Every structure is written in structure tokens, then in C-alpha cells.
Structure 1
């Protein structure tokens, strides 16, 4: 009993330690290559998306240096919810951190200077990306295709775990359940 309690305390301290150390991002992101359509492969539960839905994100780099963002939520009943926003690069982040704003109630929240969209990992060919927030409440595994081989998916989720994300709560996308139109 005593050993179990000590193990629980130590594992709790390790988790707190992971969550208080700074979140690392990739060194830089080529926003032109990052642009285009991404499929959500997995995500932490959040208030913006229903648990039974799946989403895509499309990023378009504008001449002004900002990024036009279009997120589309696909629900199993065939309904879609589309929201468009605007992203700006956090100075000196070399594209690895963005401040992304969407209209509505989210626009009333205070803006974080360090950004609310952190690229934690990205495949060299820009086929897979791991994106989260510095408080580790939000995390998305994105890919250019609706699914990833299990080994690649697990590799990116291991990176997220090492960074202090609670990947055991991840919702895995099942694009076969989404009606195509």
C-alpha cells in the first residue's frame, strides 16, 4: 500500500513537471509548404468540436503574411460546421507559433502573445503535423490524408506524451463514418 502511494505521488510529480516545463516547437515552419488541406487524425476532446465529429483545416498564406484558416467539422449525420479565422505569426517564432483568431465568443478572449497554435512536430515533407497549445489543453494530430499508419501515428503521439500531453484521452478520427459529398 505504501509503495503504491509513493508510486502515485512520483508519477503525479512527473506529470506536473512535464506540464510546467516550456513546450518545445519545431525550429521553423515554411508556411507556404504548410498551407493546404489537413485532416484531423486524432485530437484531445475540446469544447469546439463534438466527440463524434471529425474535422479538416485548410490554411492559405496571404500576401500580407497572415494565414487564412478554414476549419470544417463533419458530423456523422452529414451536417457540417465551418468556421473561418485569421492567423498571424508570433514574432521571432519562425512560423512555429501562431496567434489564430476566430469570430464569435472566442474573439472576446484575451490574446496570448506567445500564440495559441504551436507546431510541436512536423514531418520533413509536411505530410504530418502535431499542433497544440502551451497549456497542453488542446492537441491535434494532422495529416494530408484521413489516416496514418499506426506506427507513424504512435510516433507522433509519443512526442506529445514526452511534451506532457495526456494522450490517453485522444479521440481517434474514423473518417469511414463521415458521409462524403
Structure 2
């Protein structure tokens, strides 16, 4: 079957756009002196900008581990109360420049990658992190624990707001022990 030229053009443009989404948004600088081995393990989502792929999920975590090929394995999980089940997405991430800069490209499907920019990190203890995607429409505040002190949360969200992340689209993620085990 011969594919029409207009379909090929759309597919090529889409692939270019999707694979070209690994740069950081303007004026969002990834952390330096990053140590991936300290970042590995489980992080809890505290606040996020809601998107269809996480809509309605609570108890969301991201767990990172090293891959044999030098990349980072990503396992995102969350509980859907509506479906009464856990949802998972497995991905892979690779450093965009060097492993001491908190700028990775992450993929959850095929050859398509998006930016994963760690722009704020508790570099002393690795207890919290703020993440951006390829634009300010993607934002996550992560913590090593299911909750974080309100003063720390307020300070971090004020920084995110000053950097231009839209605060009206944020969702406070419920982290509850009242969900069934997976």
C-alpha cells in the first residue's frame, strides 16, 4: 500500500517535533553537580500539573534505577480510585549532556523522548526535587516522603511561580495509606 505524501509529511513533522522536545524551557536551568546514584529510588509526587496520563491518580510515585545500558529505568505508578486499580508506566531516561547535569530525556513509548529537567534539588540530602518537561506546561514537585513540610512546599512553589509555571493548573497529589496494595 502506498502512503500518500501528505500523511508522510505529517508523520515526519510529528516525529521531528516529538524527538525535538528534549531541551529545557527558556530560563529553566538544570541543576549541576548532579549525582544520579543519590537520585535513584522512590520519589512521591506532592504537586503536579495535571495531564491526561495522570488525571485522577493519587498515591503517585516515580521509582528510578540504573539500566544495564547506562540509562535510568523509570517506573511511574498511581492509584485510580475510579477504576479501583493501580496504573503503571515504564520508561527509560538518558542524560542529554553529561551525568553531572540534571537534564535527561525520557521516553515511555517508542523512540519518542521528552525533556526531564531537574531545576531545583535538595543537593545536600536529595529530599526534594522540582522537575520541568519541555515546556512550563509540565511541572512536578517530588519528595522522598509522602508529605513535605508546608514551609518548604510554599518556598518551592513560589520559586516555580517566579519562573513562570502556571499555578492555576497545579494539583495537590493525595498520598494516602487507604488504598489497596498492588
TM-score with structure 2 length normalisation? 0.77
1:119 is matched with 118
Unaligned runs of 5+ in 2: 1-24
Partner SS state of residue 176, structure 2:
helix
User: 1:31-50 alignment to 2 at 5 Å?
Assistant: 31-50=36-55
Partner SS state of residue 158, structure 2:
helix
> Of Structure 1 and Structure 2, which has the larger fraction of its residues in helix?
1
> Once superposed, what is the RMSD of the aligned Cα atoms?
2.0
Q: Give the CA deviation at 1:22.
A: 2.4
Q: Is the Cα–Cα contact under 8 Å of residues 38 and 57 in structure 1 kept in the other structure?
A: yes
Q: How far apart, CA to CA, are the structure 2 residues paired with 1:143 and 1:121?
A: 12
Q: How far apart, CA to CA, are the structure 1 residues paired with 2:41 and 2:57?
A: 24
Q: Give the CA deviation at 1:129.
A: 0.6
Alignment coverage as a number of residue pairs: 155
Q: Once the two structures are superposed, what CA deviation does each residue of 1:16-42 show, in whole Å capped at 9, x if it has no partner? A: xxxx74212212320000000001001
Q: Once the two structures are superposed, what CA deviation does each residue of 1:97-127 show, in whole Å capped at 9, x if it has no partner? A: 1111112xxx364x4xxx5100010112001
1:58 is matched with 63
TM-score with structure 1 length normalisation? 0.77
Q: Say whether 1:152 aligns with 2:158.
A: no
User: 1:16-165 alignment to 2 at 5 Å?
Assistant: 21-77=26-82, 78-92=84-98, 94-103=100-109, 107=110, 109=112, 111=113, 116-123=115-122, 124-165=124-165
1:5 is matched with none
Runs of 4 or more consecutive aligned structure 1 residues displaced over 4 Å after TM superposition: none
